[in-house]
Amino acid sequence: MSSGISTTDMPVNPVYCALDTPDLAQAETLAAQLAGHVGGLKIGMEFFYAHGAQGYQAIAGHGLPVFLDLKLHDIPNTVASAIRALSPLAPTYLNVHAGGGAAMMAAAADAARDGAVAAGTKPPLMLAVTILTSLGDSDLHSMGVSATASEQVLRLAAMAQANGMDGVVCSAYEIAALRAALGSDFKLVVPGIRPADSATQDQKRVMTPAEAHGLGADVLVVGRPITQSDDPSMAARAIADSLIANGADK
C-alpha cells in the first residue's frame, strides 16, 4: 500500500509509464489517471502505428512529458527525414537504434535540431537504444556478437555520445559503468523496471525502481506493473513513494 507521501515532495519524478496499447480510449484513461503520479508517459510503436500524430496529440494533451519510443533504424537520410516529420509533435524524448551506426545517429541529432527550428518547437532529447532488455549474453552470441551484453552496451553508448545523442536506453545493470565512462550529464533511460513484487515477464535484465534510481538512472520506464494494476494511479504512486523513501528527493 502507498505510504501517502505526495509525489510533489520529489523535485523530479523519474517514472515514465509505458502506454503499450493500441487502444486509444484505454491510453487516454491511463494518461488521465496517472497525471500527478508519474513524471511522463512513453508512447511506443504499438500505439503510434495505430493512431499516428492525432493519437499522440490526444495523449500529450494531458500535460505530461512524452517519450516517443519509435526506435528508428534505417539509412541516415531516411531516419533524418522521419525525425524532421515528427518535429511538430515536440516529444521530450525520441529514440533511434544505436545499431544503425555512427552516421545514422549523427544525422538523427542534426535533424532533431533542424526540424525543431523549422517547426518552432523545442528539440527532443535524442536517445540511442543500446541492447534491448529482452536480450541476454546468449542471445547476442547467437547473433554473432562475441561481447557480453554489458560490453556491447558500453561500446554502443560511447559511439552514441560521440555522434550527438543526448543519452541512451539501457538496462539497469549498465548504469554504473555508463556513468563512470560517459559522465553525469549523459541521459540514462532505463526500461525493464519492476517493483520487487512484480513478475519479470519477457524482460531479462531487470531491477527495482529504487535500485536503478540509486545507481543514477534519469528516467525509469515502467509499464505493466502500473497499467495492468487494478488501480494504476495507486501503483504509480507506490513506486514514487518508494523512491522518496530511498532518498530520491535528496
Q: Which three cell numbers stand for residue 74?
A: 534505417
211 Cβ neighbours under 8 A, 6+ residues apart: 172
Annotation says 71 is catalytic: yes
**CA–CA dist 20, 185 (Å, integer):** 28
Among residues 250, 234, 242, 181, the alpha carbon closest in space to that of 212 is found at 242
Q: Which three cell numbers stand for residue 172?
A: 539497469
Selected catalytic residue, list 71, 122, 187, 250 = 71
CA 195 to chain CA mean position, Å: 17
Paired with 81 in beta bridges are none
**Amino acid symbol at 209:** P
Q: What positions carry a catalytic annotation?
A: 71
